[in-house]
C-alpha cells in the first residue's frame, strides 16, 4: 500500500510531462509539474519520511532530494532551486569541504526526518531542465522501480481525450526489422473516434502512431497512460504505464521508428515490439503487435488510447489481404551480423563491435579518408557501446596534449568525446553511429561578469554572477577564491552562468579580491581577477 499522500506543491497541478513518456534517451520516470513559469515555489514532503539521498549536479535532475517513506516507497524532487534551511546547511557544508559544486550526500540514518506537508525545498530550473518546473517521482524503495505518481496525487483535473495525429503502416521481417510502407489517412468521425483508410496488403505488418494528450488547464502535449491494439477482438499489443524499470530505457529506441525520428525529427511510436526487447510495462500478447495478414482475408482492428483519468480515443480500421500497398525494398547487404563480433581496420583507425552490439544485422559503410571515420547515419538502435581507436603516433607534441577524438554533428561541427589516451593509441566508447575525427582545442574558456564590474560597490547585491563559455571541449572545472579563501560558484551549463551567494561566508574585509580559474576538458585555463567592495 502507498498510504495517504499530500501533493508536493500547493498550487494547481498542471502537468507538462507524464509518466512513461518517450524522451530522447529514456522513458520519463516521473511527472513534470509546472510552477507558474517561475522559480522558488515551496516544495513539500508528500508524507512522513527521512532523507536518504541528496544530489547536486550540473546535469540530470540538478538539485534533488530522495526521501524514503515508511510504506516502502521513495519520493524524488528534482530541478530544485534550493533546499530547505536545514538541508541547505548540510549541502553547503559538504560542498565547501569537498570544494565542489557537484556533491552526493547520504545522510546518517534517521538524522533528517520530515513530517508530511513540511517544506523541504523550493522549485527551480537546475540540471538538464528546459524551464522552471518540479520533476516528481514515486519509486518502490526495494526495487527502485518508478511508479506512476498519478496513482497517488490529488486534484489532478483531466477531462480531455487524447488526440490522434497520424497512423503509419510498416512491413516487418521475422527478425524484427521493419520498413515504412505509407502513412494511413484518418477521418475524425467524433471527438474521440477515428476511422482509418482501408489497408490492402499481405504478410507481417505493423502499425505506428502519432498522438498527444492534454490535461485541463494545461496546454502541454503529453504521452498517454495506456494503448491497446486489437485485431478481430484479440489483443495483440497492450501497455499500461503503472510502473517502469530504469532498465527499460535500453529498449526505448525499439519502440519508435528510429530512422524516421533521426532523419525527419518525426517521433512515431510503434505498436509492435522487437523480439529482443523486454519492457516491464508491456503485457505479453500473441504476435506482440505484429499482424500476420493472409491473402483474401479480412481483419478488423481497433486501437484504444487512454489517459490516466480514463479519457480515451478509438481508431477503427479494416485490413484486406491484398498485395496492393507493398513497396519495392532496395537490396541491402548487411555487413555487420548482430550475433558476431566485428572489427574494422584501415590505416590508423580501428572499430570494434562486440557481439549483439546491434539488435539486427546492419549495414555500416566504414569509410575512412582525410583522417575522418564515417560510419553512416545514426539510424540503427544500438544495445551495446562500441569502441573506436586512433593511432596518433604521428601527432606533434601540441596536438598530442590538446587533441581529442570528436564527433562531427549534423551542423558539421566537432563535439568533444571523452577520450582515453594510452601512449600512441586514443580510444572512445560510444553508442552513436556517425562521423569521427581528431580535433584540437587550444583556446581557453571566456569569463565575463554579468551583474558587477571592477571596483563596484556590491552591498545591495545578493549574488555575484558571471558568464563562462568554452568554444569546443566544454567546461571541466571551476575554482574561485575571495581574499584567498575558496568560495562556491554554482554552475549552470545550459545558461553558461556561474553564481556565488554572498551570504555563504562573512569576510572581515570590505574589499573582495576575487579570482576565478576556469578549465576546459583539455586543461586550457582562463584566469579572471577583479576587486569589488562590500562597503567603502
**145 and 203 co-located in one domain:** no
- Residue 2 domain flag: no
**401 and 490 co-located in one domain:** no
Q: Is the per-residue pLDDT at 533 higher than 60?
A: yes
- Residue 453 domain flag: yes
**23 and 123 co-located in one domain:** yes
Q: Which of 440, 472, 499 is the last residue of a domain?
A: 440
Q: Which of 321, 355, 378 is the last residue of a domain?
A: 321
Residues in the chain: 536
* d(C-alpha 121, C-alpha 495), whole Å: 22
Identify the pLDDT of residue 285. 67
Q: Which of 440, 458, 473 is the last residue of a domain?
A: 440
Long-range contacts of 71-74 (CB under 8 A, 24+ apart): 71/1, 71/2, 71/3, 71/47, 72/140, 72/141, 72/142, 73/2, 73/3, 73/138, 73/139, 73/140, 73/141, 73/147, 74/138, 74/139, 74/140, 74/141, 74/144
Residue 340 to residues 211, 373, 382, 529, Cα–Cα distance (Å):
38, 22, 14, 57
Mean pLDDT of the chain: 93
- Residue 334 domain flag: no
pTM (two decimals)? 0.93
Q: Is the per-residue pLDDT at 240 higher than 90?
A: yes
- Residue 10 domain flag: no
* d(C-alpha 2, C-alpha 10), whole Å: 20
| Cα–Cα nearest to 36, from 58, 9, 5 | 9
* d(C-alpha 404, C-alpha 387), whole Å: 15
- Residue 4 domain flag: no
Q: Is the per-residue pLDDT at 328 higher than 80?
A: no
Instruction: Name residues whose C-beta falls within 8 Å of residue 397's C-beta, 6 or more positions apart in sequence.
Output: none
**66 and 140 co-located in one domain:** yes
- Residue 467 domain flag: yes
Identify the pLDDT of residue 2. 43
Radius of gyration of the chain, Cα coordinates, nearest whole angstrom:
27
**195 and 308 co-located in one domain:** yes
Q: Is the per-residue pLDDT at 282 higher than 50?
A: yes
Q: Beta strands 113-114 and 163-172: pairing type? A: unpaired
Instruction: Name residues whose C-beta falls within 8 Å of residue 294's C-beta, 6 or more positions apart in sequence.
Output: 202, 321
* d(C-alpha 492, C-alpha 79), whole Å: 11
Higher pLDDT, 333 or 100: 100
pLDDT, mean of residues 416-427? 95
Task: Record the cell numbers describing residue 76, joined without a space.
Answer: 524524488
- Residue 305 domain flag: yes
Tell me the pLDDT band of 181, cut-offs 50, 70 and 90: very high
**Using one digit for the tens of pLDDT, what is the confidence trace for 43-73?**
999 999 999 999 999 999 999 999 999 999 9
- Residue 6 domain flag: no
Is residue 14 within 8 Å of 34, Cβ to Cβ?
A: yes
| Cα–Cα nearest to 223, from 430, 491, 476, 16 | 16
| Cα–Cα nearest to 352, from 428, 290, 415 | 428
**507 and 524 co-located in one domain:** yes
Query: String of b and e for 301-314 (b: at least 16 CB within 10 Å)?
Result: bebbbbbbbebbbb
> Can you give the residue range of the structural domain that contains 295?
163-321
Q: Is the per-residue pLDDT at 3 higher than 50?
A: no
To the nearest whole percent, how much of the chain has pLDDT over 90?
A: 85
Identify the pLDDT of residue 232. 96
**267 and 305 co-located in one domain:** yes
Q: Is the per-residue pLDDT at 293 higher than 90?
A: yes
pLDDT, mean of residues 286-306? 93
Task: Record the cell numbers describing residue 31, joined without a space.
Answer: 511527472
* d(C-alpha 261, C-alpha 241), whole Å: 22
pLDDT, mean of residues 425-444? 97
**232 and 284 co-located in one domain:** yes
Identify the pLDDT of residue 32. 97
Instruction: Name residues whose C-beta falls within 8 Å of residue 385's C-beta, 6 or more positions apart in sequence.
Output: 357, 429, 430, 431
**405 and 494 co-located in one domain:** no
Q: Is the per-residue pLDDT at 196 higher than 70?
A: yes
Which of 82-86, 474-478, 505-509 comes out lowest in average pLDDT? Answer: 505-509
Number of domains the chain contains: 4
**317 and 367 co-located in one domain:** no
Identify the pLDDT of residue 325. 58
Q: Is the per-residue pLDDT at 229 higher than 70?
A: yes
**183 and 131 co-located in one domain:** no
Identify the pLDDT of residue 489. 98
Identify the pLDDT of residue 333. 63
Here the CATH number for the domain that contains residue 135 is 2.70.70.10
Q: Is the per-residue pLDDT at 1 higher than 50?
A: no
To the nearest whole percent, how much of the chain has pLDDT over 70?
A: 96
Tell me the pLDDT band of 332, cut-offs 50, 70 and 90: low
**431 and 451 co-located in one domain:** no
Residue 238 to residues 102, 186, 285, 287, 303, Cα–Cα distance (Å):
41, 21, 7, 11, 10
Residue 493 carries which DSSP code? G
CA angle 340-343-344, nearest 5°? 135
Is residue 439 within 8 Å of 474, Cβ to Cβ?
A: no
Task: Record the cell numbers describing residue 279, joined without a space.
Answer: 519492457
Here the CATH number for the domain that contains residue 499 is 2.60.40.1220
* d(C-alpha 435, C-alpha 412), whole Å: 9
Instruction: Please give the backbone phi and psi of residue 239, each rounded to the nearest 5 degrees, phi first.
Output: -135, 150
Identify the pLDDT of residue 442. 97
Tell me the pLDDT band of 391, cut-offs 50, 70 and 90: very high
Instruction: Name residues whose C-beta falls within 8 Å of residue 195's C-beta, 6 or more positions apart in sequence.
Output: 186, 187, 189, 315, 316, 317
Is residue 528 within 8 Å of 480, Cβ to Cβ?
A: no
Tell me the pLDDT band of 25, cut-offs 50, 70 and 90: confident
Amino acid at each position: 500500500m502507498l498510504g495517504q499522500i499530500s501533493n508536493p506543491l500547493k498550487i494547481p497541478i498542471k502537468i507538462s510531462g507524464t509518466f512513461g513518456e518517450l524522451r530522447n534517451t529514456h522513458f520519463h520516470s516521473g511527472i513534470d509539474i509546472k510552477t507558474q513559469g517561475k522559480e522558488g515555489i515551496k516544495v513539500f514532503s508528500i508524507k512522513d519520511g527521512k532523507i536518504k539521498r541528496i544530489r547536486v549536479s550540473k546535469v540530470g535532475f540538478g538539485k534533488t532530494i530522495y526521501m524514503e517513506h515508511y510504506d516502502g516507497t521513495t519520493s524524488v524532487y528534482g530541478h530544485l532551486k534550493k533546499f530547505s534551511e536545514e538541508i541547505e546547511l548540510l549541502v553547503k557544508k559538504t560542498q565547501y569541504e569537498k570544494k565542489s559544486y557537484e556533491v552526493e550526500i547520504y545522510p546518517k540514518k534517521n538524522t533528517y526526518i520530515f513530517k508530511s506537508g513540511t517544506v523541504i525545498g523550493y522549485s527551480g530550473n537546475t540540471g538538464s531542465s528546459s524551464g522552471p518546473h518540479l520533476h516528481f517521482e514515486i519509486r518502490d524503495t526495494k526495487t527502485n522501480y518508478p511508479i506512476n505518481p498519478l496513482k497517488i496525487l490529488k486534484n489532478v483535473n483531466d477531462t480531455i481525450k487524447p488526440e490522434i495525429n497520424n497512423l503509419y503502416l510498416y512491413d516487418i521481417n521475422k527478425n524484427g526489422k521493419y520498413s515504412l510502407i505509407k502513412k494511413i489517412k484518418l477521418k475524425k468521425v467524433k471527438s474521440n473516434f477515428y476511422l482509418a483508410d482501408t489497408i490492402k496488403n499481405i504478410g507481417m505488418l505493423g502499425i505506428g502512431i502519432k498522438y498527444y494528450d492534454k490535461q485541463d488547464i494545461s496546454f502541454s502535449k503529453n504521452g498517454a497512460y495506456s494503448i491497446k491494439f486489437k485485431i478481430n477482438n484479440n489483443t495483440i499489443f497492450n501497455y499500461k504505464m503503472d510502473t517502469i524499470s530504469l532498465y527499460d530505457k535500453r529498449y526505448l529506441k525499439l519502440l519508435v521508428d528510429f530512422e524516421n525520428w533521426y532523419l525527419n525529427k518525426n517521433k512515431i511510436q510503434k505498436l509492435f515490439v522487437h523480439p529482443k526487447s523486454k519492457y516491464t510495462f508491456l503485457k505479453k500478447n500473441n504476435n506482440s503487435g505484429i499482424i500476420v495478414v493472409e491473402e483474401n482475408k479480412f481483419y478488423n482492428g481497433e486501437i484504444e488510447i487512454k489517459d490516466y483519468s480514463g479519457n480515451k480515443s478509438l481508431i477503427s480500421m479494416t485490413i484486406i489481404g491484398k498485395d496492393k500497398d507493398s513497396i519495392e525494398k532496395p537490396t541491402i547487404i548487411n555487413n555487420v551480423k548482430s550475433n558476431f563480433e566485428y572489427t574494422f581496420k584501415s590505416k590508423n583507425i580501428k572499430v570494434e563491435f562486440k557481439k549483439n552490439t546491434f539488435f539486427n544485422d546492419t549495414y555500416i559503410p566504414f569509410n575512412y579518408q582525410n583522417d575522418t571515420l564515417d560510419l553512416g547515419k545514426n539510424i540503427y538502435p544500438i544495445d551495446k557501446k562500441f569502441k573506436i581507436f586512433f593511432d596518433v603516433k604521428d601527432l606533434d607534441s601540441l596536438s598530442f596534449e590538446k587533441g581529442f577524438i570528436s564527433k562531427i554533428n549534423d551542423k558539421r561541427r566537432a563535439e568533444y568525446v571523452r577520450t582515453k589516451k594510452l601512449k600512441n593509441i586514443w580510444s572512445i566508447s560510444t553508442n552513436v553511429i556517425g562521423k569521427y575525427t581528431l580535433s584540437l582545442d587550444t583556446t581557453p574558456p571566456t569569463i565575463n561578469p554579468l551583474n558587477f564590474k571592477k571596483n563596484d560597490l556590491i552591498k545591495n547585491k545578493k549574488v555575484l554572477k558571471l558568464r563562462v563559455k568554452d568554444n569546443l571541449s566544454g567546461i571541466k572545472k571551476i575554482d574561485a577564491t575571495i581574499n584567498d579563501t575558496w568560495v562556491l560558484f554554482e554552475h549552470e551549463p545550459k545558461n553558461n552562468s556561474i553564481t556565488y551567494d554572498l551570504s555563504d561566508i562573512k569576510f572581515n574585509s570590505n574589499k573582495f579580491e576575487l579570482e576565478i580559474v576556469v578549465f576546459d576538458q583539455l586543461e586550457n585555463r582562463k584566469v579572471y581577477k577583479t576587486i569589488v567592495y562590500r562597503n567603502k
